[in-house]
Structure 1
Amino acid sequence: MAEGVAARAAAVDILGGVLGEGRMLAEFAGVDLMPSDRARALRLAETVLRHLEPADRVLDRHLSKSPPLPVRNVLRLAVVERAMGAPAHGVVNAAVEIVRKGRRTRHLAGLVNAVLRALPEDGMFDGLPPQRLPRWLRQPLVHAWGREAVGAIEAVQAGEPPLDLTLRPGFPAPAGEVLPTGSLRLTSAGQVSALPGYAAGGWWVQDAAAALPARLLAARPGERVLDLCAAPGGKTLQLAAAGAEVTALDISEPRMARLRANLARTGLSARVVVADALHWQPDGIFDAILLDAPCSATGTIRRHPDLPFVKDGSEVAGLVALQAQLLDRALGWLKPGGRLVFATCSLLPEEGERQLSAALARHPELAVERVELSGVETRWWTAEGGLRLRPDYWVELGGMDGFFMARLRRG
């Protein structure tokens, strides 16, 4: 087998699983390959998903009719690799070999060879718009922010995201760019566990936007704080590092295993509870609560490019209802005068701005608190006092995940 064919063939299979079967990329994390080939296969599949529409536009210039999905995915992979600068010889030979090995595709090996050898040497995606968001997501975002803003979001999501770290003062850290909000950004991290400070627990991986809800909550030493829907645990670590007495609750035992591992690595402590928040009862009230509620995760598409191809928006109404239930329930566990931060990693207003408006209408005793946060720009705050983050913010620095958050004070 030629060099790189195993990883490329696995990437084609992964693309088939996402585009043909509606499976998430995370389901392929254990694919049976050498670790290096597995990582490359997933990286290749992610890259294709970020550029699927431009790749199809290039291919359609050379195809009189669409080939079967496995062959189209081989072609898509080859086009994207070539557009990213991979040498033509290796890309074409690997694509032809993959197609030739398939019993149902081998007769199309000549077509694949001809199409790929007809591609231009460079500038393949020049003049083509970036991968567009699906209609069910794009329309409400255009209505909320306009076509120019959505186009900028799509351009950011077409790029490979950087790695952000939340740092603990006094610990070693890798070399990188300190962002205005204090997170450290790495553009080429390599193996995370080999970076300086990892073993000492000096930092953890957390997008700069995801680090802001805990900073908005501003937990203080000795406060009794609940991190609701806590997994995988970045916010729990922030709250514990601030000196709070943290209870971390989540319904998923496998995801909480990561939280426990990070607590052990960092030497931080929190009470870890695996339970359904809709049925769990605490043994007392809390000074502060952070609710990072389950949501559509549409703000994380740049890190999860499979989401637009797997989801269709049908789950949003149920998620909105669940968010409201969790928010109402959490408020019952908050002491008078206590504060709660509600957050979602969603771009959809119904999971953010409208959820906040509805909560204020249901609970007249609540007040929104807008507080100063280092590095947060004035234009990110909404009129009602929420903080709206979008992928097209900090474009010159590599963007950020989409989030909505608001700090509420119970009267």
Structure 2
Amino acid sequence: MTLQKNLISPARKISLELLNDILKSNKPFEQIISSSDKFNNLEIKNKKFCRLIITTVLRKFGQIDFVLNKFTKKGSIKQNIFKNIIRIGIAEILFIKSAKYAAINEAVELTKLKVSKNLSKLTNGVLRNIDRENEELIIQLSDELNYPSWLVQDWRDSWGEKHAKEICKWFQMEPFLDISVAGDPVIMEGILKGKLISGKTIRKQEKTNPTQLPYFNSKDERYHWWVQDVAATIPGELLIKSDQKKIVDLCSAPGGKAAQLAKAGKNVTSVDINENRINKLVENVKRLNLDIKIVNADGTSWNPKEKFDAVLLDAPCSATGTLRRHPDIIKNRSKDSLKNYLSIQSMLIRQSLTWLEKDGILIYSVCSLQKDEGEGQIKSILKSKSNIKISPILPKEVPSFQQAITKDGWLRIFPNCLASDGGNDGFFICRLKKTN
């Protein structure tokens, strides 16, 4: 048994264990791997390979299962762990392009170790047959296979066939690491060894552990930075460039937008209902030396004694705009879960409007590509509140995302907006103004 274990690389063995945990739990992928001692104790090379295996299986899950079903008889692979061994093998052969011998042989050894010696022959036969038809199979696999049919249909109905195909394609690409900086972006571009792509966002081509980057715990505020997708910086930027000083950042944790506002000299109150996320917010506030008031409260019922110039509401949502970075969330999304988000979003919008001074501003955003969570919510508010108007977003305010401004004056950001720089998260962003 010891010899058999040694035939399997640590990265493949641990990726199987983690994949099993991810697929049977509702916990986020990043949470599971960050809390895994086995993963954290891997050498850097094995960590990268382990992460690549897991994210590839999750991102290509529909295509992988299409192939698995094509090459196996119904009911021949019943155990989930057995399916996951073959899924990893398929991912390596078709998408990662690992050395064929290593991918197939170690899948066979994993089957012997985790399932049974008898079934290892089935693993060997299935993966060798797939390898023989490798090129023909790739042609048959559309990107749409990796998403629930209801989701793809919703994108088609909302944005048209062409946009839906583009969305599916862009979410299959590996994400980059985007970093917002507090100081001079040109100086930080050199320090972080990335590329300045927009405003104060620096992009690193290779995803890495942020805590290992320069100045992570620096006391010098000129070198402060935090992880934040380039599209996620826009809601904060719209308020930074405004006259509004006293701002509520609702659903604030982990604090990227609050950091933007505080570093720009705004008076920020961060509100979040989730205690665990609040703890992460507190960590970031301390690390970045931010002057922020933190409130652990439910935004749907919080009633502050004071009024505010502006509210930034980055609302809880289906997060379908972040599937590139979080391919695991797709397994927990359904039409029914979308209804729950719609209800919460509506309550948060209505409640936050009561906190505003006359002429106050609400920036509403969701990292979702679902029309109901973006355009639908705003149209509903405008219909029911005569004192709420759209304050159109102007091209000069969002130079890198001008093409995302709609005729209604809000932003509908697709994942290929910054195509020449490698893409971005999908977002909806709208600015509302409270009048008499």
Alignment of 1:6-405 (within 5 A): 6-20=10-24, 24-26=28-30, 28-29=32-33, 30-37=35-42, 39-40=47-48, 41-65=50-74, 66-68=76-78, 69-82=80-93, 83-102=95-114, 104-118=115-129, 119-120=131-132, 123=135, 125-130=138-143, 131-170=145-184, 172=188, 173-200=191-218, 201-218=223-240, 223-369=245-391, 370-371=393-394, 372-405=396-429
Shift of 1:194: 2.3
Shift of 1:126: 4.3
Q: Do the aligned partners of residues 70 and 202 (structure 1) sit closer, same or farther apart at CA in structure 2, a change above 3 Å counting?
A: same
- Give the counterpart letter for 1:320 in structure 2: L
**Structure with the larger RCO, 1 or 2 (CA within 8 Å, 6+ apart):** 1
Shift of 1:26: 4.3
Q: Do the aligned partners of residues 253 and 39 (structure 1) sit closer, same or farther apart at CA in structure 2, a change above 3 Å counting?
A: farther
Q: Render the CA deviation track for 1:33-56: whole Å, top value 9, x for unaligned.
A: 141549454442221111123323
Shift of 1:224: 1.1
Q: Render the CA deviation track for 1:265-303: whole Å, top value 9, x for unaligned.
A: 222221111111123222311111101111111111111
The Cα RMSD (Å) is 2.4
Q: Report the secondary structure of 2:336's partner residue.
A: coil
Q: Is the 8 A contact 2:359 2:433 kept in 1?
A: yes
Q: Report the secondary structure of 1:267's partner residue.
A: coil
- Give the counterpart letter for 1:90 in structure 2: A
Q: Is the 8 A contact 1:250 1:275 kept in 2?
A: yes
Alpha-carbon distance in 2 for matches of 1:148, 1:52: 22
Q: Report the secondary structure of 1:117's partner residue.
A: helix
Shift of 1:22: 5.3
Q: Give the stretch that moved more between structures: 72-81 or 4-13.
A: 4-13
Report percent identity of matched pairs.
31
Q: Report the secondary structure of 1:278's partner residue.
A: coil
Q: Render the CA deviation track for 1:216-271: whole Å, top value 9, x for unaligned.
A: 22366881111011011100000101101110010112112222222222222211
Normalising by the residue count of structure 2, what TM-score does the alignment of the two structures yield? 0.87
Alpha-carbon distance in 1 for matches of 2:175, 2:118: 38
Q: Do the aligned partners of residues 27 and 178 (structure 1) sit closer, same or farther apart at CA in structure 2, a change above 3 Å counting?
A: closer
* Equivalent residue pairs, number: 410
Q: Is the 8 A contact 1:219 1:242 kept in 2?
A: no
Alpha-carbon distance in 1 for matches of 2:414, 2:105: 41
Q: Do the aligned partners of residues 34 and 327 (structure 1) sit closer, same or farther apart at CA in structure 2, a change above 3 Å counting?
A: closer
Q: Do the aligned partners of residues 267 and 251 (structure 1) sit closer, same or farther apart at CA in structure 2, a change above 3 Å counting?
A: same
Shift of 1:93: 2.4
Q: Do the aligned partners of residues 34 and 379 (structure 1) sit closer, same or farther apart at CA in structure 2, a change above 3 Å counting?
A: closer
Q: Give the stretch that moved more between structures: 219-228 or 248-257.
A: 219-228
Q: Do the aligned partners of residues 59 and 135 (structure 1) sit closer, same or farther apart at CA in structure 2, a change above 3 Å counting?
A: closer
Alpha-carbon distance in 1 for matches of 2:326, 2:410: 25
Shift of 1:384: 1.9
